[in-house]
Structure 1
Amino acid sequence: MLLTENIKGKLVFYQMEGNATYVRDTGELASEVPTETMFELFDPHQNLSKAKFTYTWDLGNGEVIQGTEPVVRYHYSASGNYTLQLKLGVNVTEFAPLRNEVYSINLKVLDAIKHIEMKGPSDYEVSQDSSLAFHVDGSPPMWVCWRFLPQCMPDMMGGCTLNMLYENTLQLNHTFTSAGIHCLDISVRNDISKLQSSFSVTVKRSSDHVIFILSSAAILVATFSFIAVIACRPRHHNRSRVIF
């Protein structure tokens, strides 16, 4: 609650996305989202029920809006830190002088997470240290929760790996233990938004593994061929003659 010497009230922030309305009471707003800020007067004894109010809203981005209603509608087009000030003019009676009260609040405007893009290849090999790169649109810091699903089979009981992201580039290190199609479930959130996405990658057996198998197979074939040749050779019996 914001306090002045004689007038008490608070600023309440609402943001509308589609059919949903969010109450932003932490001083953090999403950029490019329609915003409505309302001044709620605290006057339980109705001492100011007949007072006339004027509202001058300084959004901190060079825009100033004036009116006689305790609400203002706007949006911040860019992320950053802003100081919103409300200059409240109060005229209690017709003959009383106009009094001004100033309310001020520091706002942190963040870009909502709208897109996750996978960079680099989608083919990987078994038993190799793999690095997967992603670009995340949104204001850091962001929390990332990810997991791989072999053969894209759902895992209701499995958890995820949680990482903190302080930039827009995400690097995941993983070693695949089996070949086939693997699905990556990834969820990213910051203080004002959340986005979940899924990607599929193809994992093949490594070339070294294939060479080893072919080499082993060649050795086995050669061994069996040698055994077969030995087994199929005709046997010659030497007969010795004894001369008296």
Structure 2
Amino acid sequence: MALAVWSRLGRILWLACLLPLAPARVAAGLFELSLTTDGPSTTGAEATISASLLTRDNSSLALPAKAHPYRFHWIHTPLTLIGKTEEDLSSTIRLVNSAPGEFPVSVWVTAADCWMCQPVARGFVVLPVTEFLVGNLVVTQNTSLPWPSSYLTKTILKVSFLLHDPSNFFKTASFLYSWDFGDGTQMVTEDSVVYYNYSIIGTFTVKLKVVAEWEQAEPDAVKGVMQKTGDFSASLRLQETLRGIQVLGPTLIQTFQKLTVTLNFLGSPPLTVCWRLKPECLPLEEGECHPVTVDSTEYNLTHIFRDPGDYCFSIRAENAISKTHQYHRVQVWPSSIQPAVFAFPCATLITVMLACIMYMTLRNATQQKDMVENPEPPSGVRCCCQMCCGPFLLETPSEYLEIVRENHGLLPPLYKSVKTYTV
């Protein structure tokens, strides 16, 4: 144990003695490494990693008179080194591996004439290696939309597959592409670019399966067919542009009445709707009103006017790809004109009701007079009386006359009474 401690202490003292021999700026720690890689890489293909020595303050690095003042030291196990290139302030290595995984690669820089000195700078990067094809699925359209992954319906889409192969590993391979556009349409092509037109709105996922085949010579001089595959996808949001806003509602209303205006949007939701009442029909500016999110193509506005005058609803709507404006004029009248509007119908109704009451009164008086002068009413009148009077109607004329006498005591009797005397 003591021997190991003394050995380590001796090594530290040795490095301390060599430290003054290093360049003056080394001790200041003003250097850093910038590492770049063209990964991820597929198994069997070459990957490139580059390291460049820079100053931390981005100032120009003063080189000594002799070339290659610094040396780059790489650790890349278990990756196989294919080649290495060094310049004054940079170094590049080419690596390959037959197994997938994520492999760390580190590098440090020392002075060229003092490799035992303290490192000028250190760097570290992870190189991903996969057994599948590496690439990207790119979707473009001949429209300039500021929203990512949003596209127009009924407009041609260009879907392209871009293979990532910086070392030209697949230069002799043949490819087969199987497309699925997410709306029930599938196709197989030998071209990496297709054109498609979505006719409906919604969110769709384009899926692509790529198969690459090529011949490769085996160690026993027999050619074998090699194959690699890859699955790729891209999410698309198909929208319709807002072609306009249809406004349904009255244009004339009185104060203190509730106004309801229906907005029909000719476009695809979700929408952001903003509206405001103005004395004139002018476009809305940013921040002039509070936006409301609408998840359908219809929306109702309600408002109660308290002051008469001419107003204009200024409406703005926008979805993920477009925006539009619309206006609706409303004329508001004072509510005091409401009694004058209904005065004539009310007066007419009251007149009709009074006429009916007078008619019924005169008719009853005429019927009673006819009953007194003509004890035997006509069959029609009798029938009417039977229906109206019901069980109170007396069948015999004598009973009817008695009632008439009782009700009309001032009428003269129809016969003279005979007095009888007993002797």
**CA drift at 1:89:** 1.7
- Cα distance change on mapping 1:41 and 1:122 into 2, 3 Å: farther
Gaps of 5+ in 2: 1-39, 42-129, 217-223, 341-423
* Higher Rg of the two aligned structures: 2
Is 1:209 equivalent to 2:336 in the alignment?
yes
Gaps of 5+ in 1: 214-244
Greater relative contact order (Cα 8 A, min sep 6): structure 1 or 2?
Answer: 1
- Report if the CA contact (8 A) 1:126-1:175 is conserved: yes
Residue identity opposite 2:185 in structure 1: E
- Cα distance change on mapping 1:144 and 1:89 into 2, 3 Å: same
- Cα distance change on mapping 1:98 and 1:47 into 2, 3 Å: closer
**CA drift at 1:47:** 2.9
Structure-1 separation of matches of 2:283 and 2:141 = 35
Name the SS of the counterpart of 2:291 in structure 1: strand
Aligned to 2:137: 11
- Report if the CA contact (8 A) 1:149-1:155 is conserved: no
Show CA shifts across 1:117-162 (max 9, x none).
Answer: 1123233334543221111133322111222221336776870231
Residue identity opposite 2:245 in structure 1: I
Structure-2 separation of matches of 1:52 and 1:25 = 32
- Report if the CA contact (8 A) 2:141-2:157 is conserved: yes
Structure-2 separation of matches of 1:108 and 1:154 = 29
**CA drift at 1:170:** 0.9
Residues paired across the two proteins, number: 206
- Cα distance change on mapping 1:25 and 1:13 into 2, 3 Å: farther
- Report if the CA contact (8 A) 2:212-2:229 is conserved: yes
- Report if the CA contact (8 A) 2:312-2:329 is conserved: yes
Is 1:113 equivalent to 2:235 in the alignment?
no
Which of 14, 28, 52 is 2:174 aligned to? 52
Show CA shifts across 1:95-119 (max 9, x none).
Answer: 5334332223444434433231112
Aligned to 2:345: none
The percent identity for this pair of structures is: 25
Is 1:164 equivalent to 2:290 in the alignment?
no
Aligned to 2:280: 151
Which of 328, 336, 349 is 1:200 aligned to? 328
- Report if the CA contact (8 A) 1:15-1:22 is conserved: no
Moved more, 42-51 or 152-161: 152-161
- Report if the CA contact (8 A) 2:133-2:228 is conserved: no
After superposition, where does 1:63-212 map in structure 2 within 5 Å? Answer: 63-93=185-215, 95-152=224-281, 159-176=288-305, 178-191=307-320, 193-206=321-334, 208-210=335-337
RMSD: 3.2
**CA drift at 1:64:** 2.0
- Report if the CA contact (8 A) 1:14-1:21 is conserved: no
**CA drift at 1:40:** 2.2
